[in-house]
Structure 1
Amino acid sequence: MTSAQILGDQYQEATAAGATALDAADPLASYGDRFITPDGEKVIYLDGNSLGRPPAASADRINDFVRAQWGTRLIRGWTDGWMDLPQIIGDRLGSVMLGAAAGQVTVGDSTTVMLYKLIRAAVDAHPERREILIDTDNFPTDRFIVEGIAAERGLTVRWIQPDPTAGVTVDQVVEAVTGNTALVVLSHVSYRSGYLADMEAITRAAHDVGALILWDLCHSVGVIPTQLDAWGVDLAVGCTYKYLNGGPGSPAFGYVRSEHQSRLPQPIWGWLGREDPFEMEQGYQVATGIRGFISGTPSILGMLAMQDTIDMIDEVGITAVRAKSVQLTEYAVMLVNEWLVPRGVEIASPLDPERRGGHITINHDSYRAALDTLWDRNVIPDFRTPNGLRLGLSPLSTSFADVYAGVDAIHEVTRAAG
């Protein structure tokens, strides 16, 4: 499809009026008003795929929690419902955007800890298989966790080397997996390039040789529809502070397919993962179902804000969120092609919107130094070494005018750099 087809009848050339027209036709435009923005200054925020803006409703929710729940109910809040919040929110995530039936998603721990628990559980379930397959361009935490577990368990790490401006393909996985592969660990959307992997086909390729697969959903949850159950995914982990706007360090979620829950014992035995935890008995007896993948006391405060974004996505539908995401990134690509590519900038993301997630990366040797200049001007992209600016466009909070102003500012600093 052409840019005009994707952006609709309101598409115009790279002008401020064109951005205004796109915003006027955007059915999600009003949702931008539901987020907190700085008083008295305009901030062009292009980093929603790293830390999302706070929903205004979350300020009220958190204040109410502190004053009316924690403040008055005190420890009684645990029996009022706090204890079940990891599974309640997990089920909502599964229903609204993951394609997962109830009882398979739980919220808690950091992304790192959740990855460790599920990767260790998966490889320990297949002790006869001695390899973990992962790619060299996966997020550092994923790679480090895999290398650490391989060292602990005496396993071999097999590496796929993808094109850094794209990502892992089905053919690469088919070529790399063997009968000795215990687990494949991949990201649904590449943190660097924004490449959107073919989750369904790659999952099938792993299963064809009897391997399990774990998908990192950190850069896709809340912006890309998934069908974890229908596609046969075994395990998944995702963070909640990007497109779910859960706030700095909000807890991760883990998906464990129901058929695996009784045979993949997770390795961190905390008090809350035990059956009847308040009995405080000797010995560990794992809780049944997804609760068995909980370890310690959940961060109730950390789970509050994401609920407001889940509500918004439930209102509009994840398909509509994805449609606007494609429009935003396509508009950004169009502007970059017109203004920046002639100045030597490289688009280090897929040009096919069907293979692109919610962000794009553009490379230029001046961009490490340019980041401070942009931030001083209240234009906030992200930087990824060695020379990439990453533009994360969150569909509920980012306007086409934001994209226009942001890329225009990047154009100015690029031009000034020569």
Structure 2
Amino acid sequence: MSLTIAEIKEAAGVLKGVIYTTPVDYSRTFSGLTGSNVYFKTENVQKTGSFKIRGAYYKISRLAKEQWDKGVITASAGNHGQGVAYAAAKAGINATVVMPANAPIAKVEATRDYGAVTVLAGKGYDDAYARAMELQNQTGAIFVHGFDDPDIIAGQGTVGLEILEQLPETDAIVVPVGGGGLIAGVALAVKSLRPEVKIIGVQSEAAPAMFLSHQSKCWQEMHGQVCTLADGIAVRRPGRLNFDLLCRYVDEMVTVEDEEIARAITMLLERSKMVVEGAGAVGLAALLQQRIVMPGKNVVVVLSGGNIDINAVSILIERGLLRSGRRVYLRAIVDDRPGTLQNLLEAIADLQANIISVSHDRVDPRVPLKKAEVKLLLETRNDLHIMEITNLLKEKGYKIISEKNF
């Protein structure tokens, strides 16, 4: 492929004044946890909520007038669609965005709000892509690929230019990878100017097509549906143009599990007060899980997007509280007589646990006669606090059946 640093610099000029130059922020908290000097490139606060506007806007700006008249169409898990919708609205042209039927509601609604026609089709990005190609053949609209396009790659590569300008002493850049457009552009830009800077890609373990391709040096695709919390990078067929650039410029690829991604999201929310979607959090997850170990080095983690559904945030927070010992579900068997429940609750209150909810069941056939089952959701301080509570209840003669979710 003939893409060069000159084209990425040209894209930067086109995007100037259109997009935000997002900050590169140092994180003392995550530096302490990982041993690296961790910086965040905060594309989660970019216009449209992700880096995708860079490539989409640059691509549409390069279309000829007769192409504009036909309108544009794309397939997207959500973020690229918002970028295309925004860029098309700025250009005054029609846009159609095909998204998976299970795309996060926040991404679907935002795409519509930017003025695009949205079509929901299939169970993942690849299904949406197939439907978009069918519609493109019917309408003659110009297809704007989400990642496998030189102009898209050039636009995404401006992230790399900004990082080097903002933190010249960068030692490594950690980049989320789905189809590969972002890491291809960043790698080309950075290696052209600072070849000693390491470029490390991170994928979800549930959608590792580019990771496997990079490992084997042979383009590969996944078969069957992929399901991951990082829906923005859930791609079965990575870009072939991007794969070529990965082989030339990317130093390392790693994967992370969904539970690790969830922990990174909740930690970013609590420690850094930043809302980051699953795809955007994979780089931090890799550092926290020591998939990437670079003690004392300046490591920039690209937080690629912040478009996460509020329902998902609620679930992740709840799971995070349970995992960290700050909430616990308890199930106990008590005598079915007056005052027993009060005594149980007083014992818990004495240890300064906040009772969020109580359920009392005396008719479940699995519960012995003359007994009742009590289910409690408690707000606690940590795992040690939970241990104190359960030990006290056992000392008082209560039978604890479960100390986990029910």
TM-score greater than 0.5 by the shorter chain: no
Normalized against structure 2, the TM-score is what? 0.29
When the two structures are superposed, what TM-score results if normalisation uses the length of structure 1? 0.29
Q: Which has the higher strand share?
A: 2
RCO (CA 8 Å, sep 6+): is it higher in 1 or 2?
1
- When Rg is computed on C-alpha atoms for both structures, the one with the higher figure is 2
